[in-house]
């Protein structure tokens, strides 16, 4: 499908630069299906999700945790300024020290920039984190080794020295509030370079109200990578090299999906990352129209666009996504192409806030995907 059909006009002032003061205060656009008795868009708030989500539904969230991936430091030998952006953890490794011993480092693949070229074999200091520059891999990324300069763990010092990796369309430096608000309240497994943004709206109080209504909560882990911001550079989505993201679905979550199917309860995905994880783990041996998932871990390159047959997810809570993006293509596939773009145009007119710190929308799986 051509990428230009997923375009829309977005004034720059609609791109949220800060979150709402409270998570539940974000606006929520409820988009009824085209075949429902009342198709009018509903302007609500995220606080209303406790009523909008059906009683007894299974609500699935992404429990990935954003790491403080942006490190600002100085070259140990010259004092030159350096920025290191951690991309992917590789392994733990013992490296020799000048005194004849060894020290353990956390090896990462990273991006970096400095005023002068890097000298491999040297160190960069960021707070109490020592960053050893090994070289570059075949993918062009730096290979670096992180270790602590104190008795505290490397993870502890990285949390203190690292900066929140805000997305490029947020035109400001990270602030203290981002350490809390660019993280979901259920974040558990470190590894993401960007937040699963729909989940940012859910507060503990809202999760409690959903529980009172008989809704169950399950989680998947999908580590959002920099590929989520990768522009589509081809005319046809079929030719787009979809980025890879690691994910895991536990036996507990797979069982919760199966039980929801048995009792006829809808599966509500909070975010497109949850959709990609669940739909990547469909049990191929379960042939009912509404499927089940296998407990699994691995990588997904699943590209969802109109024409895709959804097997697991029945309802979706999601933020508003960039024009001409694979995420918008996924939402159009789920809610119906014309219906979703109509909702986007409405949201622009009505002053909804877009992207990571923006507002949310809630859709049901379209029976007619057009």
3-state secondary structure the chain: CEHHHHCCCCCHHHECCCCCCCHHHCEEEEECCCCCCCCCCEEEEHHHHHHHCCCCCEEEEECEEECCCEEEEEECCCCCEEEEEEEEEEEEEEEECCCCCEEEEEEEEEEEEECCCCCCCCEEEECCEEEEEEEECCCCCEEEEEEECCCCCHHHHHHHHCECCCCCCCCCCCCCCHHHHCCCCCCCEEEECCCCHHHHHCCHHHHHHHHHCCCEEEEEEECCCHHHHCCCCCCEHHHCCCCCEEEEECHHHHHHHHHHHHHCCCEEEECHHHHHHHHHCECCCCCCCCCCECCEEEEECCCCCCCCCCCCCCEEEEECCCCCCHHHHHHHHHHCHHHHHHHHHHHHHCCCCECCCCCEEEEECCCCCC
Of the candidates 62, 89, 59, the one whose C-alpha atom is nearest the C-alpha of residue 221 is 62
Domain boundary assignment for the chain = 3-66+178-364, 70-161
Q: Do domains 3-66+178-364 and 70-161 have the same CATH topology?
A: no
Q: In sequence order, which residues have a C-beta less than 8 Å from that of residue 70 and are 6 or more positions away? A: 83, 84, 85, 86, 162, 163, 164, 165, 174
Residue 295, pLDDT score: 98
How far, rounded to the nearest angstrom, does the alpha carbon of residue 107 sit from its chain's CA centroid? 23
pTM above 0.85, yes or no: yes
Measure the CA–CA gap between 366 and 332, rounded to whole angstroms: 9
CATH H superfamily, domain 70-161 = QueA-like (2.40.10.240)
Residue 135, pLDDT score: 96
Q: Which residues pair with 155 in a beta bridge?
A: none
* Number of neighbours of residue 268 by Cβ within 10 angstroms: 25
Q: Which residues of 178-211 are buried (b: 16+ CB within 10 A; e: fewer)?
A: beebbbbebbeeebbbbbbbbbbbbbeebbebbe
Residue 100, pLDDT score: 85
Residue 369, pLDDT score: 65
* Number of neighbours of residue 241 by Cβ within 10 angstroms: 12
Question: CA torsion angle for 62, 277, 338, 31 (degrees, to 10)?
Answer: -30
Residue 13, pLDDT score: 97
Residue 288, pLDDT score: 79
Instruction: Per residue of the chain (370 residues), give pLDDT as tens.
Output: 899 999 999 999 999 999 999 999 999 999 998 888 889 999 999 999 999 999 999 999 999 999 999 999 999 999 999 999 999 999 999 998 888 889 999 999 999 999 888 999 999 999 999 999 999 988 889 999 999 999 999 999 999 999 999 999 999 999 999 999 999 999 999 999 999 999 999 999 999 999 999 999 999 999 999 887 778 999 999 999 998 899 999 999 999 999 999 999 999 999 999 999 999 999 999 877 889 999 999 999 999 999 999 999 999 999 999 999 999 999 999 999 999 999 999 999 999 999 999 999 999 999 876 6
Q: Which residues pair with 140 in a beta bridge?
A: none
CATH T-level assignment (fold) for domain 3-66+178-364: QueA-like (3.40.1780)
């Amino acid at each position: 499908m051509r990428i230009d059909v997923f375009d829309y006009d977005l004034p720059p002032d609609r791109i949220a630069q800060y979150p709402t003061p409270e998570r539940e205060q974000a606006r929520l656009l409820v988009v009824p299906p085209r075949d429902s008795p009342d198709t009018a868009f509903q302007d609500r708030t995220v606080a209303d999700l406790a009523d909008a989500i059906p009683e007894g539904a299974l609500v699935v969230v992404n429990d990935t945790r954003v790491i403080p991936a942006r490190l600002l430091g100085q070259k140990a030998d010259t004092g030159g300024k350096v920025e290191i952006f951690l991309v992917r953890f590789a392994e733990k490794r013992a490296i020799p020290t000048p005194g004849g011993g060894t020290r353990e480092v956390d090896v990462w693949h990273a991006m970096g920039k400095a005023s002068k070229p890097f000298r491999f074999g040297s160190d960069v200091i960021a707070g109490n984190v020592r960053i050893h520059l090994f070289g570059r891999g075949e993918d062009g990324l730096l290979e670096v080794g992180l270790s602590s300069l104190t008795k505290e763990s490397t993870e502890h010092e990285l949390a203190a020295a690292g900066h929140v990796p805000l997305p490029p369309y947020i035109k400001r430096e990270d602030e203290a509030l981002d350490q809390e608000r660019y993280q979901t309240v259920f974040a558990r497994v470190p590894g993401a370079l960007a937040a699963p943004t729909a989940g940012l709206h859910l507060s503990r109080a809202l999760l409690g109200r959903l529980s009172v209504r008989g809704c169950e909560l399950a989680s998947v882990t999908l580590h959002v990578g920099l590929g989520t911001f990768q522009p589509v550079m081809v005319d046809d989505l079929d030719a787009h090299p979809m980025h890879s993201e690691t994910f895991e679905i536990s036996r507990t979550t797979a069982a919760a999906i199966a039980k929801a199917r048995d009792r006829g309860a809808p599966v509500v995905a909070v975010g497109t990352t949850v959709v990609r994880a669940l739909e990547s783990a469909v049990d191929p041996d379960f042939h009912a129209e509404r499927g089940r998932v296998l407990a699994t871990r691995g990588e997904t390159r699943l590209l969802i666009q109109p024409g895709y047959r959804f097997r697991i997810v029945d309802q979706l809570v999601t933020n508003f996504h960039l024009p001409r993006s694979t995420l918008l293509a996924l939402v159009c596939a789920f809610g119906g192409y014309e219906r979703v773009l109509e909702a986007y145009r409405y949201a622009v007119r009505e002053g909804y806030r877009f992207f990571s710190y923006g507002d949310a929308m809630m859709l049901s799986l379209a029976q007619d995907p057009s």
